[in-house]
Chains A and B, each alone.
Chain A
């Protein structure tokens, strides 16, 4: 029964992806929809990394190795997005 976890994760991913689209139809182009869709996508990416790449079973150094570029890229993206904001 070791396949339960990956199948459950897969099911969750499929359902929430359909959910993303439904959320979108509930109010296309509104800010709150953008945020909701973004949050779903981030959770899905995290679940994939945790359960399909099994990063949770890797030693901490690998986890940091993947977190570091994520943090740096966030710095880059935020700097770009707020370059002209007041």
Chain B
């Protein structure tokens, strides 16, 4: 669920950066923080779908009784691959926003522009982000994968450390020859960079699969990992928090308390995590440890540090409460910053007070008209129905699931009816600027969504291929599935692809009647496809006694085809909605973005089947 929402959320942020920039905000002028958020999103976009695939497979194994991960032939490696394909980019997802904040804050308190800004951007955008997807196996060096893969991922991992060296050197260059004002945000920024250097250097140790033989699964890893994820990332984020508190609340935080917060955090953090590097022979993920002279002392120091570090965070909480209640009124630009968000014009305008000159003026009216409770209902419904799914092993789980579905239905039907009656005054603007010019933003959103769905289906088909290639006993082709029936059904789906296309062409010509006819045909074909699928399943399950828990062939077949069928079902719902709206004249020659998006989605569902059919019926 988290993975789904994050995927959709990424689409949202990406569109905001790409399409909703204020006038005059060209790519060259985008602030560093926005750049880093964009990079973060790109690192999320294709990694979270892999986690999503990994988790629904896990869910299916646990609740439905499939056996992807329990397969004797490398099932656990399958989980490792799918999880870490997400897991490594995730590190940057946590880290990059912090770096973006540092890049905003350093220039303000050093009084000089960020050094090598363009090089930082190139290093992050062109090297770190793409490469982040190609280093994940360094988490699997000792799982028995081949030497050549170990070598390749070792090299890739060392490679990805190089752009970070450049970024850190640029940060340091910004600090040199400048008069640094040691405000609290600046202290946390410097702390973050310092801790990142330690975390990064120990990371280079770990990129060697030879050293991993020693360090794997020890407290050395725990130390390294926390220096990056807690030290560098959290310190940077706290810096951002202090930096923007005056903007967010209009008040000043308590200076002395904040200084103590930094000092205690920094000391506590290092006392907590640095000793772990000496515990490189103590295994991690244990609830207690053997009392050895070489371990006792470091663990004791570490524990003291943990209490100091944790207690220090109370100061942050107290400071926020203090600021809200009794903080002194802040001047409009307390830091003397030169960036747009501190221009006095925007102070106090909580709405749209971001970057972009135009957004403040147009901000209020822009948001009127789509205030609705539907999304909240839908999220609640999804949460409850998923909870129900997780509780299925209990007899009452089904009740929770049905309740969730009912809330979903209420929200979706309501949402659709709102939309049919045009209750949202959403401007269907084109993407304003390069490289998204001339793409309606809803269509752009659909493309981005589909690009993430490529990963979901790719990961699941990959899981199938992987399992298939490592399983020795597999039912002979044709012994399980009826090839002629599968072929006929494939043709039905392919034909629905054509009719969906024709529906779109009709409305482009302004022909509403034809469009309704073609969409209805598509609906009938799609429903036929599903019905045949259902009949096939019925025969397999009751006729041949072939279920998803029979063997791996069953697990992969039911799961993959089921996921595709779920996509078809969503397509049917969309069509029902399109038909209803079209009957009320909701689509015209000029305004048919809904039909366009549906046509894209449906063609994508077709493409997936183009692979699923031969993979399961013919190979």
Binding site for B on A (CB under 8 A): 2-3, 6-7, 9-10, 13-14, 17-18, 20-21, 24, 28-29, 33-34, 37-38, 40-41, 44-45, 48-49, 52-53, 58-62, 65-66, 68-70, 72-73, 75-77, 79-86
Closest Cβ of chain A: how far from B484's Cβ, in Å? 8
Contact in complex: B603, A81 (CB < 8 Å): no
Q: Chain A residues with Cβ under 8 A from B454's Cβ?
A: 66, 69-70, 73
A52 vs B459: C-alpha distance when bound (angstroms): 24
Contact in complex: A61, B452 (CB < 8 Å): no
Partner of A81, one of B50, B436, B466, B611: B466
Q: Chain A residues with Cβ under 8 A from B498's Cβ?
A: 6-7, 9-10, 52
Q: Knowing A24-B618, A41-B610, say if A6 contacts B438 (CB, 8 Å).
A: no
Closest Cβ of chain B: how far from A79's Cβ, in Å? 6
In the complex, per-residue mask of B544-556: 1 if CB is within 8 Å of any chain A CB, else 0: 0000000000000
Who on chain B is nearest to A20 by CB? B614
Residue B607, interface by CB 8 Å: yes
Contact in complex: A66, B450 (CB < 8 Å): yes
Contact in complex: A58, B447 (CB < 8 Å): yes
A3 vs B502: C-alpha distance when bound (angstroms): 8
List of 5 A-B pairs having minimum Cβ-Cβ separation, nearest first: A73-B458, A77-B462, A10-B498, A61-B435, A69-B454
Contact in complex: A65, B447 (CB < 8 Å): yes
Q: Chain B residues with Cβ under 8 A from A7's Cβ?
A: 498
Partner of B469, one of A13, A38, A62, A81: A81
Contact in complex: A80, B78 (CB < 8 Å): yes
Contact in complex: A80, B450 (CB < 8 Å): no
Q: Chain B residues with Cβ under 8 A from A38's Cβ?
A: 614
Residue B330, interface by CB 8 Å: no
Contact in complex: A20, B618 (CB < 8 Å): yes
A-B contact pairs, 14 of them (CB 8 A): A6-B501, A13-B497, A17-B610, A20-B614, A41-B614, A52-B501, A53-B603, A68-B451, A69-B458, A72-B455, A76-B462, A80-B78, A80-B462, A84-B144
Contact in complex: B476, A86 (CB < 8 Å): no
Contact in complex: B462, A62 (CB < 8 Å): no
Who on chain B is nearest to A86 by CB? B146
Question: What count of chain B residues pass the 8 Å CB interface test?
Answer: 64
Q: Chain A residues with Cβ under 8 A from B477's Cβ?
A: 24, 28-29
Contact in complex: B610, A45 (CB < 8 Å): yes
Who on chain A is nearest to B500 by CB? A52
Partner of A76, one of B458, B476, B607: B458
In B266-289, which residues have CB < 8 Å from any A CB?
A: none
Q: Chain A residues with Cβ under 8 A from B483's Cβ?
A: 21, 24
Q: Chain A residues with Cβ under 8 A from B436's Cβ?
A: 59, 61
Closest Cβ of chain A: how far from B612's Cβ, in Å? 9
In the complex, per-residue mask of B482-503: 1 if CB is within 8 Å of any chain A CB, else 0: 0110010011001101101110
Query: A3-B502, A76-B458 known; 9 other A-B pairs, CB under 8 Å?
Result: A9-B498, A34-B619, A41-B610, A49-B607, A62-B447, A66-B450, A69-B452, A83-B77, A84-B470
Q: Chain A residues with Cβ under 8 A from B448's Cβ?
A: 65
Contact in complex: A58, B78 (CB < 8 Å): no
Contact in complex: A6, B502 (CB < 8 Å): yes
Interface centre among B439, B500, B607 (most CB of A within 10 A): B607
Who on chain A is nearest to B606 by CB? A48
A30 vs B471: C-alpha distance when bound (angstroms): 17
A1 vs B490: C-alpha distance when bound (angstroms): 27
Q: Knowing A3-B505, A84-B144, say if A77 contacts B458 (CB, 8 Å).
A: yes
Q: Chain B residues with Cβ under 8 A from A33's Cβ?
A: 618
Q: Knowing A13-B494, A69-B452, A76-B459, say if A48 contacts B435 (CB, 8 Å).
A: no
Residue B377, interface by CB 8 Å: no
Residue B106, interface by CB 8 Å: no
Q: Chain A residues with Cβ under 8 A from B104's Cβ?
A: none
Contact in complex: B81, A80 (CB < 8 Å): yes
Q: Chain B residues with Cβ under 8 A from A72's Cβ?
A: 46, 133-134, 455
Residue B145, interface by CB 8 Å: yes
Q: Knowing A65-B451, A85-B146, say if A59 contacts B462 (CB, 8 Å).
A: no
In B457-471, which residues have CB < 8 Å from any A CB?
A: 458-459, 461-463, 465-466, 469-470
Q: Chain B residues with Cβ under 8 A from A79's Cβ?
A: 81, 137, 149
Q: Chain B residues with Cβ under 8 A from A82's Cβ?
A: 146, 149
A2 vs B450: C-alpha distance when bound (angstroms): 26
Who on chain A is nearest to B463 by CB? A80
Residue B558, interface by CB 8 Å: no
A73 vs B604: C-alpha distance when bound (angstroms): 16
Contact in complex: A76, B146 (CB < 8 Å): no
